[in-house]
Structures are given as structure tokens and as C-alpha cells.
Amino acid sequence: MELYDQYELLAQLLVSEHQQALPETDGDWDSLVSLAHAEGVTPLLFTRVGSRDQCVVPGPVRDALARVYRDAAYASLLYRGVRELLCRCLREQSIPVILLKGAAVAFTYYADPATRIMGDLDVLVQWDRLEEACRHLEKNGFRFFSGSLETELRSTRSHAICVHGRTGVLVELHWELKGLGVRHLEALGEIWSGAWPAGFEKAACVMRPGHLIVHLCAHMTIQHKHASVLLLHDLHRVLEAIDADEAAIACDAAARWGLSSCVALAVMRVRQLFGTTLPSILAAWAKRAARATDLQARVSSLVLMPGTAGMPHPQMLDLMLKQNDLPVLRYLFPTAGTIRTYLGMAADERISAAAYLTFLGHQLRNAPGHVCRMWRFYGAVRRRSQALTQGTAPSLLVEEPTGTTR
């Protein structure tokens, strides 16, 4: 079975109530389960096929899926406990918090939160309350991943990483959301002002659905440049649940935040993959916006299709996509702390000319590889554009299936 067909089968097994054309051999089942594991949807696959009597699943495969689901259910309880502790600590200090990604989606759009696996807890806090939030968490059993808050804030990331001492659960406290483009400050302000109370967690909020759609699309295509089946399924769940008003907000926000291409193409891919039913206003807007040919559209088109060639250096690509320039400048002109960390020097150790040249040499040695990756990326873009023109490659711009708008 071709890779594209494997993705199609896996996606349909995750959402369809009807019997699908299941794999015929043990080897085909092993390939499907391996793909599900790599794409982060193994627990969800178990609830769709492994626990249903009418699905003819080989015994060893069913047992393997069941084990993964049990582990996911245990992990979900751990994450839930840490989330409740974190939100209680921030509530004590009256610090607003927005739950992000799996921490919000699992309990808002999934019938069984355990089927939405997580690698960490992501929350959004305001920059002017970040240090206060981190210090209070430190008093309540959390420690900083890099050893100190100062080190965390000096990193090129836009979040601080904490670890819950007893469970080992990682928590990322974001103060901005990468991937929202040059208008990220405007977008952040709207996300904060439009946030909805999280019904499952006191004093915590979640993004309103219209903003969440834009964030999910930009997160996978622009920020991480990797669209796993799990992330696409998150988007599918949200799109199935929104009404026309939130769909209109998503269209408007994507346009004003400069993210129309990636949002439209991600929505089209989800509809193509899962048969998602879209509000008519969103379906019409996405069909128009997905025809863009800018760099954002080309990157998104490659990211959203399986078997994509490797992307070039992410920070170089971010610079070309006109993302936040600060991380790029930090990469091109590193701070003294970055150089000391890379070279294993003490925090107060003087950086000599030889040490700086060592670091610069590392950057230059990697430069040819970055250039080659950029060249391969543009080659992949050109080949895919030609294949789409000739009709020999799967396109995201498919005719709208019956029953996919509402």
C-alpha cells in the first residue's frame, strides 16, 4: 500500500462509523499501526477499531493497541493532575492562563481525553506576569528544566519549561505564540480578549474556536512545518464543532493576521482527509484563499502532504516567511549566554576571540548543509507545482464532496 493510501485509510478509520476496507495481512496491519504510532493516534485507533467487535483485527494487533491505550489513559490522569495543580497555583496569584493545544483540545473536543496524547502541558501567560507565575510554581513542586528561570528567559524559545518534580510532567509557559506572523502582537491581544472560560478547569481559559482554528493551522504549517495526523485530527474536531459565527471569525482573523494561505490549505486538507463537514462560509472562503501562490502557500502545501521532502533550516525559512525576526537575529548574532552554553563555559567566564571563532566555525560548517536543504526544498516546491499542473499529484483543491458543508 502506498504511503498516501495508508494515510487515507488511517484517517478514515479514525472518523468513520462504517466498516472500512481493513488491511488484509499481518504485515499490512503492522504498517498501519506503525504509522498510527508515528502520527500520534494509536490510542484513538484502538477506540475506533481495536475495541469494536465488528472489526476483524488480529489478536496480537488488538493487544498491542490495548496496551498503548492503557498507557495513554494513565498518562492522561497524570497530566490532568498536574494541570489542576498548575491552574490552582496561578489562580492563587490571580494570574490569567489560557490552556493550549492538547491541554485544551483533549477536554473540549474529544469524547475520551486519553485518546488525545500529549508530550507536555502548554499554557499561555502574559509576559508581565511570567516571572511571578514561574516563581510561584517553583514553590509548589515545579523546577526549571534548564536549572534556573534566568537561563530559561535567555533562551531563544518563546516559552519557559518547568518540570513537575513528582510526576516528571513537562510544562511549557508561553508568553507568545510562534507562527502567528508579523502581526503576532495584534493576534495575541485578540486571543486574550476573546478567550472563553474552560468549563473543565476553574479560572483557566481556552481560545475561542475561531481563533483556535487559525492557531492550529499556523502551528503545524508555519511554526513546526509538520502536519501529523494527530494535529490534523485536532483541527477536524474543532471544525466539526464550530458554528457559522466562529467560522466567520476564523476567516477574518486569518486574513488580518496574514495567515490566509496556511489556514485555507490546512482546512482543505482536513476536509479531504477526514471528510470534515465545514460551515458554508468557511468552505467558500478556504476554496478561494487556497489558490494563493505565495511562499506561505507553497510551504504549507508541502507540509500538509505525506512524504514531504525535508524542510530547510527552520529559522532561515522563518526569515523568508517574514516571521518574528528576533529568533533569527539571535541565531545569526548569538548572545554571550548562547555562546557560553554551546561551548560549555561558566556563566561568568570571559569569551575569548578563540572561543567566538570556534562558535562561528560551527555555524559556518553547518551553512553548506542549510543551503543544500534550502535548494532541495525549492526543488520539491517546483516539482510539486509541475505535478499539480500536470494532474499527477494529489491536490488540496478538490471539488467539494456532497455533504461537506453546513
Helical spans, DSSP H, in 178-306: 184-194, 209-218, 229-241, 244-256, 260-274, 280-289, 295-304
pLDDT value at 314 more than 90: no
159, containing H or E segment:
strand 159-164
Report residue 123: phi and psi, to 5°.
-135, 155
Single pTM value for the model = 0.81
- 8 to each of 1, 17, 154, 270, how far by Cα in Å? 11, 15, 43, 11
State how beta strands 205-206 and 159-164 pair. unpaired
pLDDT value at 381 more than 80: no
pLDDT value at 365 more than 80: no
Q: What is the pLDDT of residue 185?
A: 84
Tell me the pLDDT tens digit for each residue of 215-268.
999 999 988 888 999 999 999 999 999 999 999 999 999 999 999 999 999 999
Query: In the chain, what are the helix, strand and coil shares in percent, each to the nearest 5?
Result: 60, 5, 30
- Which among 314, 320, 122 is positioned nearest to 223, based on CA atoms? 314
Q: Which of 54-58, 154-158, 176-180, 383-387 has the highest mean pLDDT?
A: 176-180
pLDDT value at 2 more than 80: no
User: Positive or negative CA dihedral for 379, 381, 386, 391?
Assistant: positive
Cell reading at 21: 476496507
41-55, 70-84, 250-264: least confidently modelled range: 41-55
At 325, the pLDDT band (50, 70, 90 cuts) reads very low
Tell me the pLDDT tens digit for each residue of 17-28.
766 677 778 888
Tell me the pLDDT tens digit for each residue of 169-223.
999 999 988 788 778 889 999 999 999 999 999 889 999 999 999 999 999 998 8
Mean pLDDT of the chain: 83
Instruction: Break the chain into its structural domains and give their ranges.
Output: 219-227+235-406
98, containing H or E segment:
strand 98-100
pLDDT value at 329 more than 60: no
Distance separating alpha carbons of residues 179 and 321, to the nearest angstrom = 10
Tell me the pLDDT tens digit for each residue of 27-46.
888 899 999 999 999 999 99
Q: CB count, 10 Å around CB of 147?
A: 9
Q: What is the pLDDT of residue 223?
A: 85
